[in-house]
């Protein structure tokens, strides 16, 4: 699917042009004729004969960026000096750092922060381990743990390649909830090793955020860690996605004046995200759901069902539909896709019920073109930032962990997830609610605080374990 120029493919080209004449306007024209967008143009050095200019522009992808550079180089008198990818520049040296919260200006301060004064604090914790939440970073720290096996839409690219993503996650924790998060990228994809590693590092953290671990291993990793640890374990790919989907669907159904208890919901995707979304939708009252994977509808008559698919078959598709996704979508009120790109067409959406709701969340390319879907559906949401109604997990996980840490919760319950979804949906006021605004912006100032308050109230102190649907 064609995309528009994006700041994520933004470049700065440092070049020289002859002074005077139409040089500057020619540069702008060259970028625009190549399909790019000029976002800044700065003269960094001027002389009587030459101008040094930094041209910053947005492209569609890396090939398009090179095409823009070629077009600039073709302008008469232009000499290219340097091309910088702004996204790579942002990542140079990493995106996060550790800072001391206390001054260390003299011997007195050093003696309290470190030896000998710190020994008294250590002994207090040795006498009562719960004091670690009060006297150390544990009270505000989350480990962001991955094995690099399912990174974004990139697949199994390994722990080193996952690190920039985990750094970004840590930065989001800090920006939106004031939480100190630490990337933990494990060089193993063995369930036993992952579980044991997280178990032995857990004393230093107030919560564990599992990230980008492939299914079905992620289910077992989370289950076992919940049993072993007395701090919350939250798999964002599952539960963060589920919270956002339920919040958005709650508001979308208000727009079309339908109820979750009576609508027909078709889902594409039975992996980690799909499984969690399904469970939360059922907990919220959904009754008529059909889930499809790459083999078609999940139903009790299939002979390839593992434990996860068996659960889905037992709790959905009461009529035993056994066809493909296109058939399952016909007449449906809601489509939720957490699967693969381009698996539906506008004609498929046209076959849905009147005032249909379409959540095509595969990223970067959705299950169906949002433009085509919008021709037939009343409400369309995606995982992309260049269309209305972006379903983005950053709407959920910072506030969820803020509430968990503040409550000193020992686990995550389904009631907390439902409360978080309800609070997130309520950020959109009745006056604001509409087909193109069913979910707030990630920069809305009330999102994290509202979600945190709901989770904190639901926790009611120290919750233990995780109650499944």
Residue linked to tokens 């960094």: 44
CA distances from 348 to 67, 324, 388, 457 (A): 36, 12, 21, 42
Among 95, 99, 101, 114, the active-site one is: 114
Degrees (nearest 5) of the Cα angle 61, 64, 65? 85
Which residue out of 9, 138, 169, 264 is catalytically annotated? 169
Question: Exposed, middle or buried, 81 (CB in 10 Å: 0-12/13-18/19+)?
Answer: exposed
Sheet holding 207-210, edge to edge: 180-185, 141-146, 207-210, 233-235
Query: SS3 sequence, 7-19?
Result: EEEEEEEEEEEEC
Asked if 209 contacts 145 with a C-beta cutoff of 8 angstroms, the reply is: yes
Q: What is the b/e burial string over 291-314, where b = at least 16 CB atoms within 10 angstroms of the residue's CB?
A: bbbeebbbbeeeeebeebbebbbe
Verify whether residue 99 is a known catalytic residue.
no
Q: Which two tokens stand for residue 104?
A: 């260390």
Whether 114 is catalytic is yes
Beta bridge partners of 12: 56, 84
Sign of the C-alpha dihedral computed for residues 396, 401, 402 and 403 taken in this order: positive
Q: Which residues are catalytic?
A: 114, 169
């Amino acid at each position: 699917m064609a995309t528009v120029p994006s700041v994520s493919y933004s470049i700065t080209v440092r070049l020289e042009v002859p002074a005077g004449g139409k040089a500057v306007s020619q540069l702008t024209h060259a970028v625009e004729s190549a399909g790019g967008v000029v976002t800044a143009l700065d003269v960094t050095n001027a002389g009587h004969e030459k101008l040094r200019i930094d041209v910053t522009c947005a492209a569609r992808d890396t090939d398009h960026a090179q095409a823009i550079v070629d077009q600039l180089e073709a302008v008469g008198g232009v000499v290219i000096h340097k091309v910088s990818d702004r996204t790579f520049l942002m990542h140079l040296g990493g995106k996060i750092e550790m800072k001391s919260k206390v001054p260390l200006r003299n011997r007195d301060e050093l003696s309290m922060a470190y030896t000998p004064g710190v020994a008294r604090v250590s002994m207090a914790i040795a006498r009562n381990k719960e004091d670690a939440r009060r006297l150390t970073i544990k009270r505000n720290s989350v480990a962001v743990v991955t094995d690099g096996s399912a990174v974004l839409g990139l697949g199994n690219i390994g722990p080193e390649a996952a690190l920039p993503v985990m750094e970004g996650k840590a930065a989001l924790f800090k920006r939106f909830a004031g939480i100190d998060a630490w990337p933990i990228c494990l060089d193993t994809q063995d369930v036993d090793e992952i579980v044991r590693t997280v178990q032995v590092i857990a004393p230093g953290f107030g919560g564990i955020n599992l990230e980008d671990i492939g299914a079905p291993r992620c289910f077992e990793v989370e289950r076992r860690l919940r049993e072993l640890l007395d701090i919350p374990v939250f798999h964002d790919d599952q539960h963060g996605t589920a919270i956002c989907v339920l919040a958005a669907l709650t508001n979308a159904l208000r727009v079309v004046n339908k109820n979750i208890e009576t609508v027909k919901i078709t889902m594409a995707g039975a992996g980690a995200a799909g499984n969690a979304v399904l469970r939360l939708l059922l907990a919220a009252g959904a009754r008529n759901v059909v889930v499809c994977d790459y083999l078609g509808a999940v139903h009790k008559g299939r002979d390839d069902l593992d434990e996860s698919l068996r659960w889905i078959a037992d709790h959905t598709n009461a009529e035993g539909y056994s066809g493909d996704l296109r058939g399952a979508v016909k007449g449906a009120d809601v489509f939720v896709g957490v699967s693969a790109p381009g698996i539906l067409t506008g004609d498929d959406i046209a076959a849905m019920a009147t005032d249909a709701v379409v959540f095509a969340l595969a990223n970067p390319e959705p299950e169906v073109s949002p433009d085509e879907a919008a021709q037939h559906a009343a409400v369309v949401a995606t995982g992309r930032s260049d269309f209305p109604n972006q379903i983005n997990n950053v709407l959920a996980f910072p506030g969820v962990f803020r509430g968990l840490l503040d409550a000193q919760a020992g686990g995550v319950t389904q009631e907390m997830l439902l409360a978080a979804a309800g609070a997130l949906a309520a950020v959109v006021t009745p006056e604001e609610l509409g087909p193109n605004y069913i979910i707030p912006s990630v920069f809305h100032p009330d999102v994290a605080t509202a979600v945190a308050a709901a989770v904190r109230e639901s926790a009611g102190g120290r919750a233990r374990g995780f109650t499944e649907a």
